[in-house]
Amino acid sequence: MEQLKQLLTAAGIAYKENEPLAAHCTFKIGGPARLFVQPIDHAQLCRAVALCKAQGVRYYLLGNGSNILFADEGYNGAVLDVSSMQDAVEVHGTQLTAGAGVRLSALCKTALEHGLTGLEFAYGIPGTVGGAVYMNAGAYGVCMADVLESVRVYKPARQLDDDTRGSGNIIEFDVDELNLGYRKSRIADDGFIVLSATFNLAPGNAAMIKADMDDYRQRREDKQPLDMPSAGSTFKRPEGHFAGKLIMDAGLRGHAVGGAQVSEKHCGFIVNADHATAADVDEL
């Protein structure tokens, strides 16, 4: 770890020590990360990953922190903050290309500004482009696979050279090469790291796009416990069923363990109702 800190410093990559992870996730739960690394661009992100691998330090890529429960004892390794990158959205006709650290809300707003339709479903999903592509995020019967054109990824090398410069490969995959399914992708299966993604949209009416975005946002506000810390919808949908209804039918609406509670508003959510610990959530 000491050697990694020295190498990060030499590479000009910023980091913090013993950073509380509760401050970086929507559950508001989690102990400190030994190192909290904040790359400013894709080159620094790839270099940080290569350095972690070379030094044998475990690492975790963190986007908006909206789909994770960090342990109470924290993370004994390096958390790489993808959202710290100075990523942007580029517009080329009906295509948008966005860096992994761009928040979905910003991506959707860019589409709206340019009168492009197709991403309305993603407005309100509290994640980043990288995380959304990694898990093929979706809502209301639409998912990333429906609008993705291609994804640019970093593949860390198995064997690293001594100075780690240039270790690994940057590859671009078309959407049909990604094996996208319900909350899964080749990116996750093969350990790739998303750098950017290109979305293929269609011309639309800006007023109608905004109306649809507002409708999706209102539906979320009406049905989901957005006023309480959580990691969003907690469970994968069992085939032919809805997890929230099964939990409700089991009589567990509002059931609590410590500060963790099955949401009264939507039983598919576990919420941090009162200073919950990761152990509370896990037991619940």
CA dist., res. 129 & res. 168, Å (int): 22
Return the residue matching tokens 């340019």: 114
pTM higher than 0.75 for the full model?
yes
**pLDDT tens-digit profile, the chain (284 residues):** 999 999 999 999 999 999 999 999 999 999 999 999 999 999 999 999 999 999 999 999 999 999 999 999 999 999 999 999 989 999 999 999 999 999 999 999 999 999 999 999 999 888 999 999 999 998 888 999 999 999 999 998 764 444 333 446 899 999 999 999 888 899 999 999 999 999 999 999 999 999 999 999 999 999 999 999 999 989 988 889 999 999 999 999 999 999 999 999 999 999 999 999 999 999 99
Q: List Cβ neighbours of 164 (8 Å cut-off, separation of 6 or more).
A: 47, 50, 51, 53, 54
CA dist., res. 34 & res. 14, Å (int): 14
pLDDT of residue 157: 75
Q: List Cβ neighbours of 239 (8 Å cut-off, separation of 6 or more).
A: none
Side-chain-facing half-sphere of 147: CA atoms under 13 Å: 30
Residue-wise pLDDT for 55-91, tens only, equals 999 999 999 999 999 999 999 999 999 999 989 999 9
Token duo for residue 149: 């054109």
pLDDT of residue 158: 65
**Residue 97: what residue type?**
T
pLDDT of residue 35: 98
Rounded to 10 degrees, what is the CA torsion of 137, 142, 144, 145?
120
Cross-strand pairs, 78: 35, 59
Q: List Cβ neighbours of 70 (8 Å cut-off, separation of 6 or more).
A: 21, 22, 25, 27, 29, 30, 31, 278
Enumerate the H helices of the chain as residue ranges.
2-10, 42-55, 104-113, 129-134, 186-190, 206-223, 243-249, 278-283
CA dist., res. 133 & res. 125, Å (int): 12
pLDDT of residue 160: 46
Q: Is 116 exposed, middle or buried (0-12, 13-18, 19+ CB in 10 A)?
A: buried
pLDDT of residue 168: 61
